[in-house]
Structure 1
């Protein structure tokens, strides 16, 4: 058996057992040095192209999923996912398109106050994370989406997000967004130019993080 065939089998096993998408770097860490990871992934994509499961990119990595034309077979067997409320869906859309964004900025776009439970639900589901603290008076917390958000919505990068018109057509954007509601530039998330990182205390107890807008 050739070295590539060995690598294909190894990559197949890793992706099958993984709980989420694995990048080529993740795979390379688990394989013998010099393994042709890219070649193995390409071979697996070809092998599974017309099978019941397919190999696809998600959140910058690779994962197996059921072929789209067979999704109907899973309807009765799959657990009903937790549904987002309208407020949570609107909040998630604003965070996705405006990140990094503070609670006050979310409320400004929506035009209504935001209940604490809405953000808590998004944090608990792993769709949103605490990103940093803005270097402005009150040092408000900023929020951003997670890799789990990308995986949940079948996106590879934030640049794959649909435009506002497409979101409305899909019924996912029923509120009137404010000016500047555009597909985000992923490069904005690479640095913390106007923020400080979240400290350990914030990261361990997100339920107790508050946005302070008053002086001092």
Structure 2
């Protein structure tokens, strides 16, 4: 307890010494310094950096979205960009350079290979979460195995959600932050609108039940049931 309190006091002292407002600088120079701080923080981070973190290094009156917009404008024409993903911002290389990066250093360590069946189950979880394994099985008309769920969990694309209120209180499954990262989504709201897809005739619960779903909806290609599908997103990490 004492150690934790000491660390909190130390952090508070550091915060007090850190000049966020930069009132001594003219407005243009202040904005430029805030841009540099934000870009440097995102560049140094391994995970997407959220608003709360960025708010620690800029003034109270700073509009973080406008800062990001200005940084992205300066990065226009560069081979990388700042991308909103998984609830924060991250430096990602542009898709046009994916082949060059693979040729130089090989595939990404975060890349996951899934069968088409696994992609279909993952899509179902993404749209209908939280959902139990029994409910997933009822969607497809056949049992979704524990092994399949285990592979998705092993890839860190899904995790256990709240227990279902149904008899036996089984665990439900939900998608994860890693799922958002893999597909380049800022939030689950960025998934294609399910009703719009149904209205366009591209996706329906009937198609989901029969497994007749265009895998390309998740930005992938695949023909055979067990064909391997590379689910890295449109951006290269």
Q: Please give the TM-score of this superposition, normalised by the length of structure 1.
A: 0.72
Whole-Å separation in 1 of the counterparts to 2:49 and 2:75: 17
Whole-Å separation in 1 of the counterparts to 2:37 and 2:224: 46
Q: Does 1:104 find its partner at 2:130? A: no
Q: Does 1:151 find its partner at 2:218? A: no
Q: Does 1:79 find its partner at 2:112? A: no
Given candidates 68, 85, 92, the residue that maps to 1:65 is 92
SS of corresponding position for 1:63:
strand
Q: Quote the offset at 1:44 in angstroms.
A: 0.8
Aligned match of 1:193: none
Given candidates 206, 210, 214, the residue that maps to 1:168 is 214
Tell me the matched-pair count: 174
Whole-Å separation in 1 of the counterparts to 2:146 and 2:75: 44
Aligned match of 1:34: 60
**CA deviations over 1:87-132 (Å, ceiling 9, x no partner):** 3212111101111100000111112112212111211221111110
Residues 1:148 and 1:119: Cα distance change in structure 2 (over 3 Å)? same
Q: Quote the offset at 1:35 in angstroms.
A: 6.6
Partners of 1:55 and 1:64 within 8 A in 2: yes
Structure 1 portions without partners, runs of 5+: 176-216
Structure 2 portions without partners, runs of 5+: 1-24, 204-212, 226-237
Partners of 2:120 and 2:215 within 8 A in 1: no
Given candidates 27, 51, 54, the residue that maps to 2:81 is 54
Residues 1:35 and 1:41: Cα distance change in structure 2 (over 3 Å)? farther
Question: Of Structure 1 and Structure 2, which has the larger fraction of its residues in helix?
Answer: 2
Partners of 1:100 and 1:143 within 8 A in 2: yes
Whole-Å separation in 2 of the counterparts to 1:112 and 1:173: 21
**CA deviations over 1:72-98 (Å, ceiling 9, x no partner):** 211222326331123321211110111
